[in-house]
Amino acid sequence: MLYNYTIKFARRKKMASKNDITQRLATASVPKLLISLAIPSVIAQIVNLLYNIVDRIYIGHMDSADSTALTGVGLCFPIICLIGAFTMLIAQGGAPRAAIFMGKGDNKSAQKILGSCFSALIVMSVVLTSVFLIFSEKLLWMFGASDDTIGYAFGYINIYTLGSIFVMISMGLNLFISTQGFTLFSMATVLIGAGLNIVLDPLFIFAFDMGVKGAAIATVISQGVSAVWTILFLTGKKTKLKLSFADIKPDLKLLLPCLGLGLAPFVMQSTEAVINIAFNSSLQKYGGDIAVGTMTVAATLMQVMWMPAQGIGMGAQPIISFNYGAKNPDRCIKAIKTMLLLTGIYFISLWLIVQLFPKALMGIFTDDALLLENYNLIRIYVGATGFFFFQTTAQQGLVSVGKAKASLFIACLRKLILLVPLIYILPNFFGNKVFAVFLAEPVSDTISIITASVIFILVFGGEMKKLQKEAVNS
């Protein structure tokens, strides 16, 4: 029914050439177009959060376990992040490149990029599944597991890893749907999987009494259905870029630049894994399972703040990439300004909510009294997020115009260059070691936001000036 509805909707959108998505990217009002593209993407990102947080909400309130079950699942976060990171390496680099070629009128190359990225996703998923199945237990101990939490973590991640191929296909190919402007279909991909996950989670966790293993099974099934949906769309009649057997042989000349552009989002995502490991190992040392459980909740809330903003960026990306390829700088600049305004309103609002109601927000994930006593640490952890709109706009804008090196540096700066060292340095200057570990996040964020803004103005602004000069001289 949902698929038929979206098909009918797409047909209506194509009844006249002025409503064709390519025409809209080139000529429609930028603020209205960005909002129309962003709304489904934001909804998709919000719903996508449910993949990550619904499991934790149910597990955090299991009668058979205290906070150790939630902490155990939180320990799996680095592996989940790495699976997502390799997906972004391939697809988030490939989707903007495909959009740029579409802007140039070269749909044939754009379609070959889609096929090459699909093959790369399949190969990468097989490699990651093998590696994590072999080394998952050793990795979990390294991530800060204890005798009380290792059972929960090991049971969850082994099942989740078996479904990594579904995760990578659904997440990766969905970017090629949204980059064409089919945000309704992109939203449906996430709605289908997340909706199914909401239904299956309590069934497997409670009705079948499978606990954390049941949560993992529910997630894998849901992602599998989403993967089928994306393949059906990209092999169907409505897509402009068709996934075909003739194009799935990797073309390295097209694939390697995609991987280069995808390095920045890959680093952003993979460093989340590194950061999580650093946080958990330090917090296990200074505060034990309770401190690690608090970080699980804090990291989840940070995801809640980040992912919808990424949806706004996904709405802006096709406009920026297409018009950059079409050499239309004015529309690129308008898209950036609109994105900056929307993400600014969003981040400031979310920051205020977390600062005012941290304990209530923690209560969504756990009813453990010891965890809830740490609510002030949540305030500290998200202290700089009110200004994240500068960071997200800079990173998305640079990726959208293919500036991989600048975007990669910004991604490395915030997490690897600043945050990891601060996690280990700051406890040397504070009596409250756990507080000092949480403080590392806002200190790193503040420095990174300022630096990213300066780099963006110089690099992106320079690109726009070049296009403007070319337009004058032509």
pLDDT tens digit sequence for 238-264: 898 999 988 888 889 999 999 988 887
Q: What per-residue confidence (pLDDT) applies to 73?
A: 86
Residue at 5 is within a domain:
no
> Is the pLDDT assigned to residue 45 strictly greater than 90?
no
Task: Please report which confidence band the pLDDT of residue 370 belongs to, taking 50, 70 and 90 as the band edges.
Answer: confident
Residue at 189 is within a domain:
yes
Q: 108: Cβ–Cβ under 8 A, 6 or more apart, which residues?
A: none
Region 317-337: mean pLDDT is 91
Mean pLDDT highest for which of 68-77, 95-104, 355-364, 402-411? Answer: 355-364
The range of the structural domain enclosing residue 409 comes to: 29-473
Question: ∠ CA(108), CA(28), CA(233), 5° rounding?
Answer: 45
Q: What per-residue confidence (pLDDT) applies to 17?
A: 39
> To the nearest whole number, what is the mean pLDDT of the chain?
87
**442 in Cβ contact with 381 (< 8 Å):** yes
Which runs of consecutive H residues, i.e. helices, occur in 357-432? Answer: 358-365, 369-372, 375-381, 388-400, 404-412, 420-425
Task: Please report which confidence band the pLDDT of residue 18 belongs to, taking 50, 70 and 90 as the band edges.
Answer: very low
Q: Which tokens is 183 given?
A: 């945000």
Helix or strand holding residue 186 (H, E): helix 183-202
Residues shown for the chain: 474
Residue at 20 is within a domain:
no
- Predicted TM-score (pTM) of the model is 0.72
Please state, in angstroms and rounded to a whole number, the distance separating the CA atoms of residues 149 and 474: 65
The letter for the amino acid at 195 is: G
Which runs of consecutive H residues, i.e. helices, occur in 61-149? Answer: 67-74, 77-103, 107-142
**DSSP E strand boundaries for 263-422:** none
**26 in Cβ contact with 293 (< 8 Å):** no
Question: ∠ CA(271), CA(273), CA(275), 5° rounding?
Answer: 70
Q: Which tokens is 153 given?
A: 């973590």
Q: Which tokens is 32 given?
A: 């209205």
* SS3 state of residue 106: coil
**393 in Cβ contact with 457 (< 8 Å):** no
> Is the pLDDT assigned to residue 107 strictly greater than 80?
yes
Q: What per-residue confidence (pLDDT) applies to 304?
A: 83
Report the percentage of the chain scoring pLDDT > 70: 93
In angstroms, how far is CA 474 from the centroid of its own chain?
40
Question: What letter would DSSP give residue 326?
Answer: T
> Is the pLDDT assigned to residue 2 strictly greater than 70?
no
Residue at 11 is within a domain:
no
**346 in Cβ contact with 312 (< 8 Å):** yes
Task: Please report which confidence band the pLDDT of residue 386 belongs to, taking 50, 70 and 90 as the band edges.
Answer: very high
Residue at 21 is within a domain:
no
Residue 52 — φ and ψ, nearest 5°? -90, -35
Residue at 9 is within a domain:
no
**148 in Cβ contact with 68 (< 8 Å):** yes
Residue at 137 is within a domain:
yes
Residue at 18 is within a domain:
no
| pLDDT tens sequence across 132-163 | 999 999 999 988 888 888 999 999 999 999 99
Residue showing tokens 């602004």: 461
Domains contained in the chain, number: 1
